[in-house]
Chains A and B, each alone.
Chain A
Amino acid sequence: MIRRLRSSTGDGSMPPGPAARDTSLDLPPGPRRSDDVVLDVRGLVKAYDDAEVLRGIDLTVAEHEVVTLIGSSGSGKSTLLRCAGVLEPISDGQILLDGQDISDPRIDADDVRARFGVVFQAFNLFPHMTVLDNITLAPRVVHGVAPKEARQRAHALLSRVGLADKADAYPDRLSGGQQQRAAIARAIAVEPRVLLLDEITSALDPELVGEVLALVRELAAGGATILMATHEMGFAKQVADHVVFLDQGVVCEEGPPARVLGEPTQPRTQEFLRRVIDAGRL
């Protein structure tokens, strides 16, 4: 029902790929598309003390592609996003951003983070700043944009996310949906290579979910490269180019949304989707 606008560099089609991936990952698979891979996660392992949360994840996100991570709580979706965004040290494996190894300890992590846009479940807006200041902060402080220009761009962004009249409001004056849209504006203000969206609608009232998802849909249509964890299966089905089902820290099944969500082959996926359907979420 949603026509996705594909940019010239994106091919939009998904190669058949392995129908189901085994949990033992001996070789990292090559990128699905040859040269337009933006984010490339290879054999990612993440452990907290002795608990392995991610146990060898391989994942690629191509330019202008929307990849959604699904799976139950504790399956490692958020951890994967945090590791990808260099917000957590990883225990093993490799993460490449535009071909550069960003898991190398020698890189400037702040510099890499500046190339990601992250939106969190709990918005994480700064309560002591107006919406406008929240948005202009990184462009001014990190990217050296002149304050006047940063403000102009922020106003334009706010119109785009439908918050033109909230520029001088403080976050606590906004509804959850408005806060999350402001947070998205903050994330895209730095023109990130990849947007990492971590269950951005989970903390919202049901009637506010739509406005945020509509915005993400618009960003996707505009060619944004997005890796997002979500519980909104309907949304994943409509907007995603590629769906990855995580289970207990491994990629259990992945592929085009119609196949993974429509005709899952793995028992784990089938069970998960059955529970989601039982809960009325698909």
Chain B
Amino acid sequence: MSLDHPTPLELSRRRLRAGRSRRSTLTALVSTLVFATVLYLAVTSAPGWPRTQATFLNPQVAWDSLPKILEGLWLNIRVLAVAAVATLVLALVIAVLRTLRGPVFLPLRLLATGFVDLFRGIPLIVLLYLIGFGVPALRFTDERINPVYLGTIALVLTYAAYVSEVFRAGIDSVHPSQRLGARSLGLSYGQSMKLVVLPQAVRRVTPPLLNDFVAMQKDVGLISLLGPLDAVRAAQIASQSTFNFTPYVVAALLFVLLSVPTARAADWAAARAARREQSGAML
């Protein structure tokens, strides 16, 4: 009657559970197959299928357009890397500014609140146009400003507004007793924020942050509106030169591939957070 020597009763229960889990796996497998087959038949039997296939799923066009689109994607990835880091920093600053207390900080609080209201409210496309075409129109320099930079700035402003709210929610979710504990030890407001509150807050909001990161991964494609040769722009050019939409499908697949690792990382982070915070709740 121990772990190493289960009783026959327990062994029979284990067999029962194993059999049940085998059955449900089988059911899931079969239902997935049936669903996929039905979907496939429905799509391929559509009247416009041959034509759609030729225009959207042309392997030759896909292969030919791939190098240019990949080249463009590399630009997206670089923009993403810079924008993600800049967003995190800016968002954290804004979130902390918004949580400052006391009348002295009123202007800073107002500024941060105004920033969030403004950039969360403007559609990203409109902001891209405003910054991408408005800032050059101011003629600060005579040289042409690289639209990639302007696009990145627009992206960062929008996402920082969103992400700062995620951070703020995280900061607010840390129980006041933690701040009390930190202050009781003589830590200053800033120290308790930095050493006690923020570490807990950031850990707690990692899953939603990764979710925003996935959203950002595909929104970097919008900078193509300003002209730089990124994956979407490359697909557009290829599409226009072949009168075929396949390059867009290629670009779409590449963006999906790009987001899958982050999506899995988000799942993993969420699962880990759930394990840590909800240990003892097993149902």
Q: A residues within 8 Å of B by Cβ? A: 25, 43, 45, 47, 50, 52, 55-56, 87-88, 91-94, 103-106
Chain B contacts of A91 at CB under 8 A? 3, 6, 10
Contacts A94-B9, A104-B13 given; indicate if A52 touches B1 (C-beta within 8 A): no
Q: Is A45 touching B2 in the complex (CB atoms < 8 A)?
A: yes
Q: Provide the residues of chain B in CB contact with A56, threshold 8 Å.
A: 1-2
Quick check: B3 and A52 within 8 Å, CB to CB?
yes
Partner of A105, one of B3, B7, B16: B16
Is B17 an interface position by the 8 A CB rule? Answer: yes
**Cross-chain contact A93 with B10 (CB below 8 angstroms):** yes
Task: Give the complex CA separation of A91 and B283 in angstroms.
Answer: 16
Q: Are A105 and B20 in contact (CB under 8 A)?
A: yes
B138 near A: Cβ within 8 Å?
no
What residues on B are CB-neighbors of A50 within 8 Å? 3
Q: Distance (Å) between the CB of B181 and the closest chain A CB?
A: 19
Chain B positions within 8 Å of A52 at CB level: 2-3
Q: Mark out the residues of chain B between 2 and 38 whose CB falls within 8 Å of any chain A CB in the assembled complex.
A: 2-3, 6-7, 9-10, 13, 16-17, 20
B104 at the interface (CB under 8 A from A): no
A45, A103, A105: the one contacting B1 at CB < 8 Å is: A45
Min CB distance, B232 to chain A, in Å?
45
Interface size class of B (residues with CB under 8 A): 10 to 19
- Asked whether B1 lies within 8 Å of A93 as measured between CB atoms, the reply is yes
Q: A250 → chain B, closest Cβ, in Å?
A: 10
The reply on B282 being an interface residue by CB < 8 A is yes
Find out whether the CB atom of A105 lies under 8 angstroms from the CB atom of B2: no
> Taking each of A50, A56, A92, A103, which has the highest tally of chain B beta carbons within 10 Å of its own beta carbon?
A92
Name which residue of chain B comes closest to A89, CB basis: B282
Verify B6–A106 contact, CB threshold 8 A: no
Q: A87-B282, A93-B10, A105-B16 are in contact. Are A47 and B1 (CB under 8 A)?
A: no
Query: B residues engaging A (CB < 8 A)?
Result: 1-3, 6-7, 9-10, 13, 16-17, 20, 282-283
Closest A residue to B14 by beta carbon equals: A105
Known: A45-B2, A104-B13. A93 touches B283 (CB 8 A): no
Q: Which A-B residue pairs are the 3 nearest by beta carbons?
A: A92-B10, A56-B1, A43-B1
Residues of A within 8 A of B9 (CB): 92-94
In the assembled complex, which residues on chain A have CB atoms less than 8 Å from the CB atom of B6?
91-92
Contact B2 A55 (CB under 8 A): yes
Query: Bound state CA distance, A144 and B13, in angstroms?
Result: 32
Q: How far is the CB of B34 from chain A (nearest CB, A)?
A: 27
Cα A52 to Cα B3 in complex, Å, equals: 8
Chain A, Cβ-Cβ closest to B19: A105
In the assembled complex, the CB of A151 is this many whole angstroms from the nearest CB of chain B, namely 27
- In the bound complex, CA of A88 to CA of B17 (Å): 15
Q: Are B13 and A103 in contact (CB under 8 A)?
A: yes
Q: Please pick, from A87, A94, A106, the residue contacting B283 in the complex, using a CB distance under 8 A.
A: A87
- Chain B, Cβ-Cβ closest to A110: B283
Q: Is the CB of B7 within 8 A of A93?
A: yes
Rounded to whole angstroms, the CA-CA distance of A105 and B14 in the bound complex is: 9
A-B contact pairs, 9 of them (CB 8 A): A25-B1, A43-B1, A45-B2, A45-B3, A50-B3, A92-B1, A92-B6, A92-B9, A93-B7
B282 touches A92 (CB 8 A): no
Closest to A101 in B: B9
Query: In the bound complex, what is the Cα–Cα distance between A191 and B283 (angstroms)?
Result: 23
Tell whether, in the assembled complex, residue A105 and residue B282 are in contact, meaning their CB atoms are under 8 Å apart: no
A87 to B282, CA, bound (A): 8
